[in-house]
Chain A
């Protein structure tokens, strides 16, 4: 089981009160803020992220510098804002590649007959024996460190989890009562595939992607933090963390704030993913 599967498990099908929750509102607000920071960082950030001011180096958080300043006196908050686009891009690209690979494996397993199903299942099982970041680290050994490698490496590490969820989904839909009912009506396999199996099996893709982006950003920043992904002086959250590490004892704000953005993004992605699941369940109930 992967972390992602766990999240979908934890989301649960338990229908609860259909009110808009405060958590969802906060998550949507934070997502909008991130979007603004991506598109118009100049409007969000108070300063130029690369403007150095050696006299202001290592100033703690203050009204002038919300997140303090770094070793060159650059405003940490502005750098965090300007780093949003890079970090989100890595997360989105990693999730997209992981989902694509996972989907390909799942379709192969579900529709390729017994041999493919067996092979894909064994492959997924073997890939699970490279837990967490291990698979990503292996990719980096081969291809060398760097943001692009790190992105693809994270994508590859998440693929087995996606593959397992989507395969289960495809098989469940294929065995469902409504697919049988369509067969009894004499509809052709292609029509059943197009009208019932694919739309229903792939409906959770959006939820998976939403949940997965937070996860991917965390893993990619872990690689950056270890010096294997995006490197300083790039304004990227993981790279900023890594750059701040030597000053942990004296200037905690260099690591805590970029890290906090990662945490908030991950939480927001989970909250939004759950909210989407609820919306889907409710739509099913009231359409």
Chain B
């Protein structure tokens, strides 16, 4: 038996609530096993239970719980500590908060060594340096003295991986290791993780992202409601799923096939454009200098079309959205709505026409007055339609009118947000990352709803996202933003098939995708 991890019948309870039930799990050297599931599936708790870190209130039981040859069913805190770091390393999401922001990363990584081994400060330092080299950290000597906040997202994630690898543990658990990262950075981190498994380390990958999983995992466990509902080799589970839920999960992954061409729709925006952006720029003061958030952007949104705007974090796409919504004034350039001036313009000149542009935000909860019920929110926005009618349009029951948004699920909240935008009877809808915070199956439903409403009402839609798959699924045309500029725009299918700009090509190459045969 050469299993590094051998778990059977693992269950975790918090008081009366069972969050993990009957999980079996095995992991061999050099193997990558992935646990996938949506929020609340119990995947993270499972991972933490393997380190004895499920929490003080957690009640963990198992028929078998063998980690690196040790039975840990009745392990004391001291025994757990002996395996943490030495036998099992843990990598969490976003190192900005997963490494102590007050301490240099060199000390954080060195802690793992100092806690388990004796050695002079010089020896520890040399090993930390070697670890940083192993994770391909540029200029490791300087990096050691930096704190996580002073490094970019990708570099600090490398530092976090170095900390987990410090004592060369045979098992590494990675809990959503790339979730907070831009696609290009994510691609590099996934390469690094693949390299580590190739060197013989066993990787337990926890992720919500099937594309990430398909890139790394040998075997997959699908969790839902605390149970493993399906498992097998990655090819089996993703290629020929048996369970209905797994099929839904896979079908929900945004399509990389472009939207079917709609009859009678021109490939170029209908002229005159309903929203015309010309040479718009906006900069902000930051750290004594100025940051050019939007830099000479020109775009046209044709009537009835969906324009996808894609870019990584900091590319200026949200600032552009705020300018279009009249929440931010451009330093230069103009925006025209149906041929009339829209920005820059004094607020007074815009207000009467504001209802023509609706908005849907990523964090819908903070866009609702915390004292108001769903009904009140919709009544306040409505230009005639009644609350039940508005709720019906977005597929919500009228009873929800009395509820407070806090008590709704993420998907329901986003539906309320859409209903509010529609209540003002807009012609244009500006959606800024509307599905980024949602689980993949919910995301698919919201995208379907948005697509349907757009078609039925002939809305002109600007859809902003970092996710190429989402953009591709919904857009007629696509514009790509990088560092404040639109580097390329064009008809969606053509742009994805033959990217004209190197940055677009790189984005497409880096985007993880389900690499196993698709099932429809």
Is A–B contact present in the complex under a CB 8 A cutoff? yes
Question: Which of A's residues lie within 8 Å of B, judged by CB?
Answer: 176-178, 180-188, 195-196, 199-200, 203, 284-287
Stretch from B17-25, B182-190, B362-370 forming part of the interface with A: B362-370
> Known: A177-B363, A284-B406, A287-B404. Is A184-B369 also a contact (CB below 8 A)?
no
Among B352, B358, B366, residue most surrounded by chain A Cβ atoms (within 10 Å)? B366
Contact: B361 with A181, CB < 8 Å?
yes
Contact: B371 with A185, CB < 8 Å?
no
Contact: A178 with B327, CB < 8 Å?
no
Bound: A186/B359 CA distance, A = 12
- Besides A178-B367, A195-B369, A287-B404, 7 other A-B contacts (C-beta < 8 A): A178-B366, A178-B368, A184-B326, A185-B354, A185-B381, A186-B351, A286-B407
> Can you give 23 A-B contacts (C-beta < 8 A)?
A177-B361, A177-B366, A177-B367, A178-B369, A180-B327, A180-B367, A183-B327, A183-B354, A184-B327, A184-B359, A185-B381, A185-B424, A186-B351, A186-B352, A187-B380, A188-B351, A195-B380, A199-B371, A200-B369, A284-B404, A285-B406, A286-B404, A287-B371
Contact: A196 with B406, CB < 8 Å?
no
Chain A hits for B381, CB < 8 A: 185
Bound: A195/B363 CA distance, A = 21
> Known: A184-B359, A284-B404, A285-B407. Is A178-B370 also a contact (CB below 8 A)?
yes
A132 to chain B, nearest CB (A): 32
Bound: A192/B424 CA distance, A = 16
Closest residue of B by beta carbon distance from A189: B347
Bound: A183/B141 CA distance, A = 50
Closest residue of B by beta carbon distance from A186: B354
Chain B hits for A188, CB < 8 A: 351
> Known: A184-B357, A185-B355, A185-B424. Is A176-B366 also a contact (CB below 8 A)?
yes
**Residue B93, interface by CB 8 Å:** no
Contact: B367 with A203, CB < 8 Å?
no
**Residue B332, interface by CB 8 Å:** no
A96 to chain B, nearest CB (A): 24
7 smallest CB-CB distances across A and B, nearest first, come from A186-B354, A177-B366, A287-B404, A177-B367, A181-B367, A178-B369, A184-B359
**Proximity string of chain B (286-327) to chain A, C-beta cutoff 8 Å, 1 when within and 0 when not:** 000000000000000000000000000000000000000111
**Residue B373, interface by CB 8 Å:** yes
Bound: A145/B371 CA distance, A = 45
Task: Choose among A177, A180, A182, A200 the residue that contacts B371 (Cβ–Cβ < 8 A).
Answer: A200
Closest residue of A by beta carbon distance from B407: A286
Bound: A35/B407 CA distance, A = 37
> Known: A181-B361, A184-B325, A186-B424. Is A284-B370 also a contact (CB below 8 A)?
yes
B98 to chain A, nearest CB (A): 21
Majority secondary structure of chain A interface residues (helix, strand, loop or mixed): helix
Closest residue of A by beta carbon distance from B355: A186
Interface size range on B against A: 20 to 34
Contact: A203 with B371, CB < 8 Å?
yes
Bound: A200/B372 CA distance, A = 11
Closest residue of A by beta carbon distance from B325: A184
A287 to chain B, nearest CB (A): 4
Chain B hits for A184, CB < 8 A: 325-327, 354, 357-359
Interface residues of B in 36-92 (CB under 8 A from A): none
Chain A hits for B367, CB < 8 A: 177-178, 180-181
Bound: A286/B366 CA distance, A = 16
Bound: A196/B353 CA distance, A = 21
Chain A hits for B406, CB < 8 A: 284-287
Bound: A185/B326 CA distance, A = 11
B375 to chain A, nearest CB (A): 11
Chain B hits for A186, CB < 8 A: 351-355, 424
Chain B hits for A183, CB < 8 A: 326-327, 354
Bound: A286/B370 CA distance, A = 11
Chain B hits for A177, CB < 8 A: 361, 363, 366-368
Closest residue of A by beta carbon distance from B356: A186
Task: Choose among B355, B359, B404 the residue that contacts A181 (Cβ–Cβ < 8 A).
Answer: B359
Chain B hits for A181, CB < 8 A: 359, 361, 367-368, 420
Bound: A284/B407 CA distance, A = 9
Chain A hits for B404, CB < 8 A: 284-287
Closest residue of A by beta carbon distance from B327: A180
Bound: A195/B377 CA distance, A = 11
Chain A hits for B355, CB < 8 A: 185-186
Among A178, A186, A195, A203, residue most surrounded by chain B Cβ atoms (within 10 Å)? A186
Chain A hits for B371, CB < 8 A: 199-200, 203, 284, 287
Closest residue of B by beta carbon distance from A180: B327
Bound: A188/B369 CA distance, A = 16
Interface residues of B in 408-459 (CB under 8 A from A): 420, 424
B271 to chain A, nearest CB (A): 26
Bound: A94/B409 CA distance, A = 45
Bound: A241/B193 CA distance, A = 71
Bound: A200/B57 CA distance, A = 36
Chain A hits for B357, CB < 8 A: 184
A194 to chain B, nearest CB (A): 12
Closest residue of A by beta carbon distance from B368: A178
A175 to chain B, nearest CB (A): 11
Chain B hits for A187, CB < 8 A: 380
B459 to chain A, nearest CB (A): 16
Closest residue of B by beta carbon distance from A284: B370
Bound: A177/B406 CA distance, A = 15
A135 to chain B, nearest CB (A): 35
B504 to chain A, nearest CB (A): 30
Chain B hits for A182, CB < 8 A: 380
Chain B hits for A286, CB < 8 A: 404, 406-407
Among A177, A180, A184, A195, residue most surrounded by chain B Cβ atoms (within 10 Å)? A184
Chain A hits for B368, CB < 8 A: 177-178, 181
A77 to chain B, nearest CB (A): 44
Chain A hits for B420, CB < 8 A: 181, 185
Closest residue of A by beta carbon distance from B351: A186
